[in-house]
Each structure stands twice: as structure tokens, then as C-alpha cells.
């Protein structure tokens, strides 16, 4: 199952990914980094394409939880 995964060390918390997500699966956590809600993410890749910092990757993940 593909999901968006954010590298919080590279994330600049700009919110571009959250605005692009059609499922509202991404939020900016305490103004510090983008947090992905795996239960809402469908792995469409729009956030990955929009991220100016290149911190989001959509990839196959095993057992994921919130």
C-alpha cells in the first residue's frame, strides 16, 4: 500500500503539501512539520510533486498507523 511519508528533518512546514492534498490527510504539526494521517492518505502523490523541500515521498509501506 502506498502512502506519503514525510522526512521531518527536511520539511520546512510551508503547508504546500497540505493545500494540495484532496483527502485532507496532511496537516502542519505545531508549525514545525507536515504530519500525514495514514488513515486518510491514498498515495496519490500530489503532495510529493508539490513539496518545494522534497521532504515527502510516496512509497510502499508495511503496517502503518497514525
- The reported pLDDT for the residue numbered 64 is 53
Domain boundaries, the chain: 2-60
pLDDT band at 66 (very low <50, low <70, confident <90, very high): very low
pLDDT tens for each residue of 12-65: 999 999 999 999 999 999 999 999 999 999 999 999 999 999 999 999 987 554
Distance, in Å, from the CA atom of 60 to the CA atom of 28, rounded to the nearest integer, reads 23
CATH-assigned architecture of domain 2-60 = 2-Layer Sandwich (3.30)
Label each residue of the chain as H, E or C.
CEEEEECCCCCCCCCHHHHHCCCCCEEEECCCEEEECCCCCCCCCHHHHHCCCCCEEEEECCCCCC
Amino acid at each position: 500500500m502506498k502512502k506519503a511519508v514525510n522526512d521531518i528533518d527536511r520539511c520546512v512546514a510551508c503547508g504546500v503539501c497540505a493545500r494540495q492534498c484532496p483527502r485532507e490527510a496532511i496537516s502542519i504539526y505545531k508549525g514545525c512539520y507536515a504530519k500525514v494521517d495514514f488513515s486518510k492518505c491514498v498515495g496519490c502523490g500530489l503532495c510529493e510533486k508539490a513539496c518545494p523541500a522534497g521532504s515527502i515521498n510516496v512509497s510502499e509501506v508495511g503496517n502503518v498507523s497514525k
